[in-house]
Amino acid sequence: MEFTSLLTQHDDHADLAVSGELDAFTAGQVRRQVDDAVFDGFEDFVVDVSDVTFVDAGGLSVFVRLRNAMAVRGGAMTITVASPRFRQVTGVAGLAAAFGLDVTAVDDGHLVKGCAVRR
């Protein structure tokens, strides 16, 4: 699957959809998109990683960085749906709770969650 990252800015939040292999190399593209949105004043991010087929520490670092930036600003990063691979890697890395992910709640092979990370 080809890597894609699409950030769509709305009036009150930004949607981020990432698919394919999210690694240290492709994370740079996501990081630039997120940095631009934060610079533009966005403090609420809704993230869809349902089509992420691979993620490594470099890929996870984008979400750690975004989560920490939103915590400082009083904003939120909400992962709305995550692929099994993303859930597995965040669980092994010990980041599932930090991202508000319940690695046991699965529906049709994708994580379903409704918890925002707030300061």
Query: Domain range holding 98?
Result: 4-112
Confidence check: pLDDT of 94 > 70: yes
Q: Quick check: 107 pLDDT over 60?
A: no
In a domain, 14, yes or no: yes
- Please tell me the distance from the alpha carbon of residue 100 to that of residue 98, in angstroms, as a whole number: 5
Residue 26: what residue type?
Answer: T
* Tokens 């909400």 sit on residue: 78
User: Is 119 inside a domain boundary?
Assistant: no
Q: What is the pLDDT of residues 41-83, one digit of tens each?
A: 999 999 999 999 999 999 999 999 999 999 999 999 999 999 9
117 within some domain: no
Q: Is residue 86 part of a domain?
A: yes
Q: Which amino acid is at 42?
A: F
Residue 116 has pLDDT above 50, yes or no: no
Q: How many domains does the chain have?
A: 1
- Give the CATH number of the domain where residue 50 resides: 3.30.750.24
Neighbours of 28 (CB within 10 A): 13
